[in-house]
Amino acid sequence: MDTKNTLMTQGSIATVYPPDVTAEDEELLVSAIAGWPSNLRTAIETLHGVNGRTHQQWKDHYLTHKARLDAMAAAKMAASALSTSDPPSRSSSCGEELSGRESDTSFGDSAPVASEHNHASTASKAWQWTEAEINELAEHVASIPRDSKTIGRMDWPRCQAKIPRRSVRAIGAYYNRHTSEIEEVIKKMGSGHQDQVAGPSRGGGACEGPAESDGQVAESDGEMEDAEDGVEWPVPFVVYGDNSHLDEGGQKLRSDF
């Protein structure tokens, strides 16, 4: 076993990382690989710029430690798919890796498969974003003022409280990769809300004039009624039917009152 990469500590295998790579870096890399089991290239590309490393640097580290990282990612995928049962056992060769960097031909589109248990497809479905999660993300983004949508102001921890299955980093990465799709969801949510507020159109035709016209007409009618109530009619004058030209006795009224 290569002592450059591993050492024995209290009966267990402890990984020794290169000076420029931390345990957190490798955990991010393994999580990305396990999160994109159907597209390894995309998994590596999502880490571009994370912790100050470029896509090529992540790729080089993966190819140099491919055997060990594949085994770790496969175990993580299997453990996620079998969260209610015992995790699959790892083969004795999982702790060993080939020395030297593997060629770019080893960097394919397919992700590692868990040994002894074929749960890659199940893990793939488990890591896919659900419609409910996407809607929660869209609602969160919609709640952020447009002038505040800059790096560090998206408040991903608050969003993560509603999507506990995703990490804060994963939520931010997903939004960065699917910004246009999330914006489309927000637009659909907004149009649906407007339709509920507007309700069905009257009579199936287009409305003529502003919505306030009914209220304006009603106020005008009220003003007219008030004006009629203030009119002082002559005492003998009767305002009903065609007999308005006669007094109560049926006599023709004078026109010069």
Residue-by-residue DSSP string for 231-251: ----TT---STTGGGB-TTSP
Do the Cβ atoms of 76 and 117 come closer than 8 Å? no
Say yes or no: 150 and 50 in one domain: no
168 or 87: whose pLDDT is higher?
168
Say yes or no: 119 and 10 in one domain: yes
Say yes or no: 119 and 140 in one domain: no
pLDDT band at 238 (very low <50, low <70, confident <90, very high): very low
Give me the residues paired with residue 14 across strands: 7
pLDDT greater than 70 at residue 245:
no
Q: Distance (Å, rounded) from C-alpha 101 to C-alpha 89? A: 27
143 or 62: whose pLDDT is higher?
143
- At 200, the amino acid letter reads P
Say yes or no: 56 and 122 in one domain: yes
Residue ranges making up the domain that contains 72: 6-127
Enter the pTM of the model.
Answer: 0.31
Query: Would you state the pLDDT for residue 106?
Result: 57
71 or 250: whose pLDDT is higher?
71
Give me the residues paired with residue 246 across strands: 252
SS3 label, residue 7: strand
Query: Would you state the pLDDT for residue 250?
Result: 53
Q: Distance (Å, rounded) from C-alpha 168 to C-alpha 155? A: 9
pLDDT band at 61 (very low <50, low <70, confident <90, very high): confident
Mean pLDDT of all residues in the chain? 64
Strand 6-9 with 12-15, pairing: antiparallel
Whether residue 52 is contained in a domain is answered as yes
What tokens were used for 93?
């060769």
Name residue, tokens 């009624």.
Answer: 225
- Single out the residue in 107, 127, 147 at which a domain terminates: 127
130 or 251: whose pLDDT is higher?
130
Q: Distance (Å, rounded) from C-alpha 65 to C-alpha 33? A: 13
Residue 171 burial (CB count, 10 A): 22
For 152-172, what is the mean pLDDT?
84
